[in-house]
Chain A
Amino acid sequence: TQLLEQSPQFLSIQEGENLTVYCNSSSVFSSLQWYRQEPGEGPVLLVTVVTGGEVKKLKRLTFQFGDARKDSSLHITAAQPGDTGLYLCAVHGANDYKLSFGAGTTVTVRA
């Protein structure tokens, strides 16, 4: 059983559309991270959310941490082809250095 469940697994949309991807768990976390990974590259950290109910914005990307700190969402407004990639959520375990990742959502934005 995965610690973090990400949905949907795949998402293909047209340029200019909006999209939301989800990261869910039955566990409570002190913080949660979102990464984007492009083909042939390593994951790149986008944001860390730490407070229940927190909303962070990064240009057209909006990240929300659930009130109970068990889940998170990533919303992209007016998606661009450059937003294409694998979006991963991750949390630290009891040991701060060890990250556990979800399986990711593959987003494809068609021009």
Chain B
Amino acid sequence: GAGVSQTPSNKVTEKGKYVELRCDPISGHTALYWYRQSLGQGPEFLIYFQGTGAADDSGLPNDRFFAVRPEGSVSTLKIQRTERGDSAVYLCASSWDSYSPLHFGNGTRLTVT
């Protein structure tokens, strides 16, 4: 498909474990975003990439969260030492540039037990 693809769609992990969430943006989109959506809430901004660089990571909750986009396409959100409070849907979005509409993926539902 031509949309934003996120894998896995669901991830269950134990408290303290490390997880990686993957995002494949729409081909040609230079801007990539990660958002987190908790139950009953709207998405909250985590990080924004323009090309390969993280232009704004001010939304990352703490230093357990890290994201990369080494070739300016696929991005990986990495969470170390997971906590139960990290349980949420992690959404990825991409756009042609920072002024264009965002296209969201279907998210990865992370559950930390």
Give A contacts to B, CB under 8 Å.
4, 40-45, 48, 88, 90, 95-104
Q: Which residues of A sit under 8 angstroms from B79, Cβ to Cβ?
A: none
Q: How far is the CA of A44 from the CA of B44 in the complex (A)?
A: 15
Q: How far is the CA of A95 from the CA of B59 in the complex (A)?
A: 13
Give B contacts to A, CB under 8 Å.
4, 31, 33, 35, 40-45, 48, 50, 55-56, 59, 91, 93, 98-99, 101-102, 104-107
The A-B contact count (CB < 8 A) is: 50
Q: Which residues of B sit under 8 angstroms from A41, Cβ to Cβ?
A: 106-107
Q: How far is the CA of A32 from the CA of B59 in the complex (A)?
A: 21
Q: How far is the CA of A80 from the CA of B31 in the complex (A)?
A: 35
3 smallest A-B Cβ distances: which pairs?
A42-B104, A101-B42, A97-B98
Q: How far is the CA of A94 from the CA of B50 in the complex (A)?
A: 17
- List 18 extra interface pairs beyond A42-B93, A97-B56, A101-B42, CB under 8 A: A42-B4, A42-B91, A42-B106, A43-B91, A45-B101, A48-B101, A88-B43, A96-B98, A97-B31, A98-B45, A98-B48, A98-B56, A99-B43, A99-B102, A101-B43, A101-B44, A102-B42, A103-B41
